[in-house]
Amino acid sequence: MADQSIAGAAGIMATASEGDRSGRARIVILFLCLGLVLVVLLSLTSGASDASAVGVVHDWLVGAAPGNEMLNARDRLIVYDIRLPRVILGVLIGAALAVSGAVMQGLFRNPLADPGLIGVSAGSSLGAVAVIVLGATVLAPFTSALGTLALPLAAFCGGLATTLVLYQVATRHGRTSVATMLLAGIALAALAMALTGILIFMADDRQLRDLTFWQLGSLAGATWQKIGSVGPIIVLALAAMPFLARGLNALALGEATAGHLGIPVQRLKYTAIVGVSAAVGASVAVSGGIGFVGIVVPHLLRLAIGPDNRYLLPASALLGACLLLLADAVARTIVAPAELPIGIVTAIAGAPFFLWILLRKRGVVDL
């Protein structure tokens, strides 16, 4: 018996790493951390204004250069009050969208679930538009009581309601039908957009212009105040997600089996739904509809490090932040001095990618 276990242990030593991708995942996460630092620095030092902002970042990292204070004051303003909030917001929203996508895919047990595709973002938009258009009239008590939190909160409620309805419709006896999920998502998005349309119809000219640009998705107009209102929501939601990782892994085997493994499945599902709705709602509230981050990022990472959510979720947060900052850099510079809404950039890059996933999975994913 003892001999057997020693022999067994020796055999195990040789094969311990086979099929275990956690080492590779850790390395990828390390590289993504470095990548994010680089992209953040790149974003801080590039833009429509001249390049002397490099000096500010340089000062910031290694200390102020003497005799340069006047120049630095203006540049500092550009970096601290315009670029830095925009970069922080980009990081938060990129991470929130990518992690929400990954969590939703785990929850629905399907790689095609994405808050943008299945109507969650549309529901959030409806909530946000309602506050923008009706904030001064019908919803005045709501907006005055909550101040800057009113917008993200309304977007959260819209997203939450959509996700709950979607889950009820698409899941029967613990099995989620992808076809039902996507079609129900289309129906819910259409309904949300129709209601949004009614609100837009009621909006005045100034609101109309705001809404149009907001709906296309943009990080422009990022302020410290906006970060103050949605930052805590996103950070809180992101901080809760790692606790779902093990449960979401077990859920890949089906709801019943996850329960057999000791996972409190109902609690897991509702935490995931509330977390995703909060993250997506907060993102939509400040930046409008930025699509495809939630589907492209987790998919790329699954190819690299596998579907283990313990690594997939943090890696998604990092890669989502990187990609959104890069997309924002493209949006800011490609038609400079004007600016393209970032939602257009992510859709132009993301939609063909989504089609590519579908082509690859044709015949493999059972719709």
Partner 1 sequence: MIEARDVSVAIGGKRIVANVDFDMRPGEVAAIVGPNGSGKTTFLRALSGDLAYSGQIAINGRDLAAMKPVEAATVRAVLPQATTLSFPFTVREIVRLGLVGGRSGVLPGEDEHLPERALSRVDLDGFAGRFYQELSGGEQQRVQLARVLCQVWAPVLDGKPRYLFLDEPVSSLDIKHQLIIMGIARDFARRGGGVVAILHDLNLTAMYADRIFVMHRGRLAANGSPQDVLSDDLIEKVFGCRLKVGALPQGNMPFVLPQSAA
Give the binding site for partner 1 (CB under 8 A). Answer: 8-9, 11-12, 15-16, 18-21, 109-111, 246, 249-250, 252-254, 256-257, 259-265, 302, 306-308, 365
Q: Which is nearer to partner 1, 222 or 265 (CB)?
A: 265
Minimum distance from residue 244 beta carbon to partner 1 (Å): 12
| Helix/strand number for the chain, H first, E second | 17, 2
Smallest CA-to-CA distance from 291 within 87, 100, 89 is with 100
Minimum distance from residue 18 beta carbon to partner 1 (Å): 4
Q: Which is nearer to partner 1, 20 or 81 (CB)?
A: 20
Smallest CA-to-CA distance from 109 within 276, 249, 238 is with 249
Minimum distance from residue 167 beta carbon to partner 1 (Å): 16
Q: Which is nearer to partner 1, 19 or 66 (CB)?
A: 19
Q: Which is nearer to partner 1, 209 or 260 (CB)?
A: 260
Place of tokens 């904030």: 135
For 4, other C-beta atoms within 10 Å of its C-beta total: 8
In angstroms, the CA 136 to CA 2 distance is: 78
Q: Which is nearer to partner 1, 58 or 246 (CB)?
A: 246
Minimum distance from residue 111 beta carbon to partner 1 (Å): 6
Q: Which is nearer to partner 1, 121 or 249 (CB)?
A: 249
Smallest CA-to-CA distance from 307 within 27, 22, 31 is with 22
Minimum distance from residue 325 beta carbon to partner 1 (Å): 27
Minimum distance from residue 246 beta carbon to partner 1 (Å): 5
Strands 175-176 and 171-172 come out as antiparallel
Minimum distance from residue 251 beta carbon to partner 1 (Å): 10
What spatial distance separates the first Cα and last Cα of the chain, rounded to whole Å? 50
Q: Which is nearer to partner 1, 113 or 278 (CB)?
A: 113
Smallest CA-to-CA distance from 247 within 326, 332, 163, 310 is with 310
In angstroms, the CA 101 to CA 293 distance is: 8
Smallest CA-to-CA distance from 266 within 178, 184, 174 is with 174
Q: Residues 6 or more apart from 118 whose CB is under 8 A from it?
A: 104, 166, 181, 182, 184, 185, 188, 189
